[in-house]
Amino acid sequence: MRQRSLRDHNLALVLRHVTAANRPPSRAEIAAASGLTRATVSTIVDELIAGGLVAELEPVSRSGVGRPGTGIVPAGTGPAGLGMEVNVDYLAVCAVDLTGAVRHRQVRRLDQREHRPAQTWQALAELADQAVGAVTALGLTPAGGVIAVPGLVEGDTIRIAPNLGWQQVALPRPADLGGLRDLPLDVANEATLAALGERHATGLRSFLYVSGEIGIGGGIVLDGELFGGSHGWAGEIGHVTIDPQGPDCHCGSRGCLEQYAGEEAIRAAAGLPAGAAVLADLVGGARAGRGPVLDALDHAGTALGVALSGAVNLLDIGTVVLGGHYAELIDWLRPAIERELSRRVITARWSPAKVRASALGSDAALVGAARAVTQAILDDPARFLATRAAPAA
């Protein structure tokens, strides 16, 4: 058992080195960087090649003594992770390879509040089928899928997704999702997955991720690890109370942050009509200096700053990442957010929290979902290799 555990550890060590390298490393370079012997690295690389996870480039000719070095790269026909997102007004799917590069992306505008969950799963299955076809055409191998949903997931149930009007909704089975029927499938909260995507994209070790669209979600990363809380539900900052006597919220409470800084609240405060291209109109109005739009964004930023101040005080966290539509509105939200943070965070005078835009923007949850699949392979390539070998056994 110890031998198997050591072999599994070494497989992951070598694969991560290949996928993270700035240029294709040779076997000798992998051995030097990992501390493994050249013989061990050679055996592991051969196994990863046979399993379709890495490939060997043609030797680079060079002058001098010794054999030319041969670069090792992620296989062009290797596994791809599929990320799918259910949001209030759209469905989306993307695929990433082992390097984290997005190889396919598709978005379908569709208001889920007008559909039953079964209709949503059916529409998502159509996108998943198209994604599997596109990935296969690229020579990649679909390895599994993760669905990001704007709600709280426990076991095989979405307990509540307030902005969708869902309660106690059964998760879809792989058989319900067409091309994913024979692949591993998972479902998780969209803001949680967005935080994971942001961690991979930026390397940030500790931050609070806040995603703002029609709903507001959050994810907490501490020392490189996602903090999920007792049930995996941590980060529901959209339902932090701003005013106990404020407007009713879809969650059943009153005065939640979403009622002040959610997309629909900002739209209404800015005097924009329902059904408008809200984000484009807000950005355009802010750039044009329109008073009602600037006032609405300042009001939303103030509410965000109040909620974020409590989180920063509680968690002692130094960075706030704004994602979703907030990433594109950051120039107009940040002044009010920072104003409230400076007033309310006890450590602000000598250690102010930084507010920055998401590196992935509105795609953070989608990419984070896909990266969850590939990260599982990077963490445990032995399990992936075993599943590929199983049908032939």
Could you report the per-residue pLDDT of 15-31, keeping only the tens digit for each?
Answer: 999 988 888 999 999 99
Q: pTM, whole model, 2 decimals?
A: 0.86
Angle formed by the axes of helices 2-20 and 27-34, to 10°?
110
Tell me how far the alpha carbon of residue 219 is from its chain's centroid.
10
Residue 392's pLDDT is 44
Q: Pick the residue with more confidence: 381 or 1?
A: 381
- Give residue for tokens 């920063």: 312
% of the chain residues with pLDDT over 70: 94
Q: Please, what is the average pLDDT of the chain?
A: 89
Residue 60's pLDDT is 56
pLDDT at 141 over 80: yes
Residue 163 near residue 150 (C-beta atoms within 8 A)? yes
% of the chain residues with pLDDT over 90: 66
Residue 57's pLDDT is 86
Residue 389's pLDDT is 63
CA atoms within 13 Å, Cβ hemisphere of 2: 0
Angle formed by the axes of helices 291-315 and 263-270, to 10°?
150
Who contacts 69 (Cβ-Cβ below 8 Å, separation ≥6)?
26, 28, 29, 59, 60, 62
